Amino acid sequence: MLEEELTDLVKTTLTALYGERISDIPINFQHTRKEFEGDRTLVVFPYLKFSGKSPEITAEEIGKELLGSSELIVDYNVVKGFLNLIVDNVFWVNWLRNFKGLEFEAEKGTYMVEYSSPNTNKPLHLGHVRNNLLGYSVSRILEATGKKVVKVQVINDRGIHICKSMLAWETFGKGVSPQSSGKKGDHLVGEFYVKFDQVYKEEVKALVDSGMEQKQAESNAPIMKSAKDMLLKWEEKDQKVRGTWKMMNDWVYEGFNKTYERLGVQFDRLYYESETYLVGKDEVIRGLGKGIFESENDGSVWVDLTEDGLDRKILIRSDGTSVYMTQDIGTAILRFKDYPDLEQLVYTVGNEQNYHFKVLFLILKKLGFSWAEGCVHLSYGMVELPSGKMKSREGTVVDADDLMDEMVETARLKSEELGKLEGFSESEKEALYHVIGMGALKYFILKVDPKKQMTFNPEESIDFAGNTGPFVQYTHARIKTLLAKSESTSLQLDSTIDIEAVERNLIKELYRYKEVLELSAREFNPAYLANYAYDLVKLYNQFYQTVPVLKEENTAKRNFRLLLSTRVAERIANAMSLLGIAVPDKM
């Protein structure tokens, strides 16, 4: 690899010039910025105290020495303290010639990525979309860098929330099913949840009007009491309640599965909260025995994290039931038991739970689990719309299914408006609208740094120009038709071929892919990859505009350009697939 080779060279040179004591200083190259000539840049400021000379002279000195000692470097220039090294064209052309795709060594440990993890009382919304796209893409990226990955989700299938939907269904909609209503199961259940809330509010208001305190009214509303009763019955495994519960959850799963399918995400293993919600308690009691936790007179168990700058947190309520934190302790332990070679456990969860995970990981550490170090919270910011924030209370939540419909519809409208896609059959068109609409959505969301809050603009995302999914897809399709039109020759390369600056830049960009992939994997951040795909697209368009490809007379040059085009198309397709985005050959 280029970096390794250059590092060795520079190390030797520096020791030759300034002696052994310099060998502790790390050597880092950066890509030369495009307004300067060169491929890699060495910043010489760190070496000044050894050279005892000015930045310019030091850089000049190092450059001269390097030039003399290696064939790889054919020239250099110095700008202030920056030594720009120019690598031999032969290196780049040979790299392209011997290109075999990406090779990462398979790693031993397993990575688990948790994402989605919805409640079963309402359909998925825009926030879940970001969650799913991130989790899925990160999984793909990790796999692409040689890791074994298990994609999981926890389904929050029990608790008061699902009882609310069940109760509303029994009271107001008994007999209604997805089949009878023609509605998607998760939407139907969601409607009952909303119905519950309406009735509940009315009841609370009535009680308050009759003179009751707000708080008291909230817990005394008849429908809420019934819901709590139902939860108790559920916990006692009451057959009738469990029957309804299972039926309605199944409706929801069926609906979710359709949504996941459209989103293009999958899971390898599901954890159901109903099966795991009791597992953390024993561990907490054990921790209590070891003095890690403390109990109150009423029997509740707490962890005191004030010394770590955090709060006191409850783990077991006075009535003996566990809280969310306790369950999470349990599932984490369970997972490391299920997968003994688990190295990292990545939780894809919104940033409103940053504190929760901070506490969770700290508790796991205190409990003495060495694997706690491998737990990561992949935190992401909220998604807003140009119209403002989503608020469930104000009914401004964007439903995931509706959103996807809208994206596909916009793709249709824009395509028709532009008069493209002539000569496509109706079914081909439909398929393409889906690919374009979803590509727009995914690309727009994934190109943003996960931790940042972002604004999703459906209109802008589906523009066929600019930093968008459809533009990347379109460029890929254009390269593919170009390649289809070229009579395929054996794409042999002569490594001494002359290349233009645009071509060299394109090769360098292709070369950068591995680095970008490693960075994306290390930081669990698909945004690097998305922006890389776009950079490649832009460079390709410039290349195409600058030099002829098909019309090039010189066979060696034409072969080179065709090969370069092939590699670019491959890279784009690869990067996009790791984002979960399809790239059509024609569009």
Partner RNA sequence: GGCCCCGUAGUUCAACGGAUAGAAUAGAAGUUUCCUAAACUUUAGAUACAGGUUCGAUUCCUGUCGGGGCUACCA
Nearest to 445 by CA among 483, 486, 407: 407
Residue 176 burial (CB < 10 Å; 0-12/13-18/19+)? middle
Nearest-angstrom CA–CA distance, 135 and 461: 20
Q: How far is the CB of 119 from RNA (least distance, A)?
A: 6
Q: How far is the CB of 154 from RNA (least distance, A)?
A: 10
Nearest-angstrom CA–CA distance, 152 and 157: 15
For RNA, give the closer residue by CB, 349 or 507.
Answer: 349
Q: What is the DSSP letter of 346?
A: E
Sequence-distant (6+) residues with CB within 8 A of 70 are 9
Q: How far is the CB of 179 from RNA (least distance, A)?
A: 28
Across 416-572, the runs of DSSP E, i.e. the strands, are: 454-455
For RNA, give the closer residue by CB, 107 or 449.
Answer: 449
For RNA, give the closer residue by CB, 300 or 577.
Answer: 300
Q: How far is the CB of 555 from RNA (least distance, A)?
A: 14
For RNA, give the closer residue by CB, 44 or 149.
Answer: 44
Look up tokens 């190259």; give the residue: 29
Q: How far is the CB of 273 from RNA (least distance, A)?
A: 6
Q: Can you read off the two tokens belonging to residue 326?
A: 């306790």
For RNA, give the closer residue by CB, 119 or 344.
Answer: 119
81 to 163, 239, 244: CA distances (angstroms):
68, 77, 73
Q: How far is the CB of 90 from RNA (least distance, A)?
A: 22
| Cβ-contact 503, 547 below 8 angstroms | yes
For RNA, give the closer residue by CB, 242 or 451.
Answer: 451
Nearest to 72 by CA among 85, 59, 62: 85
For RNA, give the closer residue by CB, 70 or 326.
Answer: 326
Query: Which amino acid is present at 532?
Result: Y
Q: How far is the CB of 538 from RNA (least distance, A)?
A: 5
For RNA, give the closer residue by CB, 292 or 421.
Answer: 421
Nearest to 133 by CA among 567, 570, 447, 531: 447
Q: Residue 444: which H helix or E strand, with range?
A: helix 426-446
Q: How far is the CB of 346 from RNA (least distance, A)?
A: 18
For RNA, give the closer residue by CB, 339 or 476.
Answer: 476
Q: How far is the CB of 486 from RNA (least distance, A)?
A: 8
Nearest to 118 by CA among 170, 157, 165, 60: 157
Strands 301-304 and 342-350: unpaired
| DSSP assignment of 41-108 | EEE-GGGHHHH-S-HHHHHHHHHHHHHHH-SSEEEEEEETTEEEEEE-HHHHHHHHHT------PPPS
Name the 3-class secondary structure at 254. helix
Terminal Cα-to-Cα distance of the chain (whole angstroms): 37
For RNA, give the closer residue by CB, 37 or 254.
Answer: 37
Q: How far is the CB of 110 from RNA (least distance, A)?
A: 27
Q: How far is the CB of 340 from RNA (least distance, A)?
A: 28
| Cβ-contact 336, 369 below 8 angstroms | yes
For RNA, give the closer residue by CB, 462 or 507.
Answer: 462
